[in-house]
Amino acid sequence: QVQLVESGGGLVQPGGSLRLSCAASKIFFSIYAMGWYRQAPGKQRELVARITSRGSTNYADSVKGRFTISRDNAKNTVYLQMNSLKPEDTAVYYCNADYSTAAGSKSDYWGQGTQVTVSS
Protein backbone atom coordinates (compact mmCIF):
# COMPACT_ATOMS: atom_id res chain seq x y z
CA GLN A 1 0.00 0.00 0.00
CA VAL A 2 1.48 3.31 -1.12
CA GLN A 3 1.68 5.87 1.67
CA LEU A 4 2.35 9.59 1.57
CA VAL A 5 2.66 11.04 5.06
CA GLU A 6 2.77 14.81 5.50
CA SER A 7 4.15 16.58 8.54
CA GLY A 8 5.22 20.05 9.59
CA GLY A 9 1.93 21.91 9.58
CA GLY A 10 0.76 24.10 12.41
CA LEU A 11 -0.11 27.58 13.57
CA VAL A 12 2.21 30.42 12.60
CA GLN A 13 1.99 34.20 12.70
CA PRO A 14 1.88 36.25 9.51
CA GLY A 15 5.38 36.68 8.15
CA GLY A 16 6.53 33.44 9.70
CA SER A 17 7.85 30.26 8.14
CA LEU A 18 7.04 26.57 8.09
CA ARG A 19 8.57 23.59 6.35
CA LEU A 20 6.29 20.78 5.27
CA SER A 21 7.61 17.29 4.64
CA CYS A 22 6.05 14.39 2.80
CA ALA A 23 7.56 10.96 3.23
CA ALA A 24 6.64 8.38 0.61
CA SER A 25 6.75 4.64 0.96
CA LYS A 26 6.19 1.71 -1.37
CA ILE A 27 6.64 3.69 -4.57
CA PHE A 28 9.64 4.10 -6.86
CA PHE A 29 9.92 7.64 -5.58
CA SER A 30 12.55 9.00 -7.94
CA ILE A 31 10.42 8.53 -11.07
CA TYR A 32 7.40 10.36 -9.67
CA ALA A 33 6.60 14.01 -10.00
CA MET A 34 5.75 15.33 -6.54
CA GLY A 35 3.40 18.15 -5.78
CA TRP A 36 1.92 20.16 -2.96
CA TYR A 37 -1.71 21.20 -3.21
CA ARG A 38 -3.89 23.08 -0.76
CA GLN A 39 -7.56 23.45 -0.03
CA ALA A 40 -9.03 26.26 2.00
CA PRO A 41 -12.55 26.03 3.45
CA GLY A 42 -15.15 26.57 0.75
CA LYS A 43 -12.57 26.56 -2.03
CA GLN A 44 -11.33 24.06 -4.58
CA ARG A 45 -8.06 22.25 -4.15
CA GLU A 46 -5.30 24.10 -5.97
CA LEU A 47 -1.74 23.37 -7.00
CA VAL A 48 0.83 25.16 -4.87
CA ALA A 49 4.10 23.74 -6.23
CA ARG A 50 5.30 20.76 -8.20
CA ILE A 51 8.69 19.20 -8.86
CA THR A 52 9.31 16.70 -11.64
CA SER A 53 11.49 13.61 -11.44
CA ARG A 54 14.24 15.64 -13.10
CA GLY A 55 13.94 18.50 -10.63
CA SER A 56 12.04 21.04 -12.71
CA THR A 57 9.70 23.13 -10.60
CA ASN A 58 6.61 25.23 -11.06
CA TYR A 59 4.66 27.34 -8.60
CA ALA A 60 1.31 29.01 -8.24
CA ASP A 61 1.64 32.73 -8.87
CA SER A 62 0.42 33.43 -5.34
CA VAL A 63 3.42 31.69 -3.75
CA LYS A 64 6.25 32.51 -6.18
CA GLY A 65 9.21 33.98 -4.36
CA ARG A 66 7.92 32.81 -0.97
CA PHE A 67 7.67 29.02 -1.23
CA THR A 68 10.31 26.53 -2.38
CA ILE A 69 9.71 22.90 -3.23
CA SER A 70 12.55 20.39 -3.10
CA ARG A 71 13.03 16.65 -3.01
CA ASP A 72 15.50 14.18 -1.52
CA ASN A 73 15.30 10.96 -3.49
CA ALA A 74 17.57 9.18 -1.02
CA LYS A 75 15.02 9.83 1.71
CA ASN A 76 11.90 9.43 -0.47
CA THR A 77 10.81 12.83 0.80
CA VAL A 78 9.56 16.05 -0.72
CA TYR A 79 9.62 19.36 1.12
CA LEU A 80 7.82 22.67 0.92
CA GLN A 81 9.62 25.58 2.55
CA MET A 82 7.10 28.33 3.16
CA ASN A 83 8.34 31.81 4.05
CA SER A 84 6.60 35.16 4.50
CA LEU A 85 3.36 33.36 5.24
CA LYS A 86 0.09 35.23 4.84
CA PRO A 87 -3.35 34.57 6.32
CA GLU A 88 -4.54 33.60 2.84
CA ASP A 89 -2.08 30.68 2.90
CA THR A 90 -4.27 29.05 5.54
CA ALA A 91 -5.43 25.70 4.20
CA VAL A 92 -5.01 21.96 4.42
CA TYR A 93 -1.89 21.08 2.44
CA TYR A 94 -1.79 17.79 0.56
CA CYS A 95 1.13 15.91 -0.91
CA ASN A 96 0.69 14.26 -4.31
CA ALA A 97 2.74 11.80 -6.30
CA ASP A 98 2.03 11.26 -9.97
CA TYR A 99 3.60 9.28 -12.76
CA SER A 100 2.51 8.81 -16.33
CA THR A 101 3.91 6.30 -18.79
CA ALA A 102 4.54 7.04 -22.45
CA ALA A 103 1.55 4.81 -23.18
CA GLY A 104 -0.65 7.10 -21.14
CA SER A 105 -1.32 5.08 -18.00
CA LYS A 106 -1.20 7.17 -14.84
CA SER A 107 -0.49 6.52 -11.19
CA ASP A 108 -1.68 9.14 -8.74
CA TYR A 109 -1.46 9.12 -4.95
CA TRP A 110 -2.44 11.56 -2.18
CA GLY A 111 -1.49 12.09 1.42
CA GLN A 112 -3.96 12.71 4.20
CA GLY A 113 -3.19 16.42 4.49
CA THR A 114 -1.69 18.69 7.10
CA GLN A 115 -3.30 21.88 8.41
CA VAL A 116 -1.48 25.18 8.04
CA THR A 117 -3.00 28.15 9.85
CA VAL A 118 -1.55 31.63 9.52
CA SER A 119 -2.99 33.93 12.13
CA SER A 120 -1.96 36.45 14.74
What's the pLDDT at 104?
A: 83
Q: What is the mean pLDDT of the chain?
A: 96
Q: What is the pLDDT of residue 106?
A: 87
Per-residue pLDDT reduced to its tens digit, 77-87:
999 999 999 99
**Neighbouring residues of 72: CB distance < 8 A, sequence distance ≥ 6:** 78, 79
CA angle 108, 113, 116 (to 5 degrees): 140
Angle at 65 between CA 70 and CA 67, to 5 degrees: 40
pLDDT of 110: 97
Counting as low any pLDDT under 50, the low residues of the chain are none
pLDDT for 100 equals 86
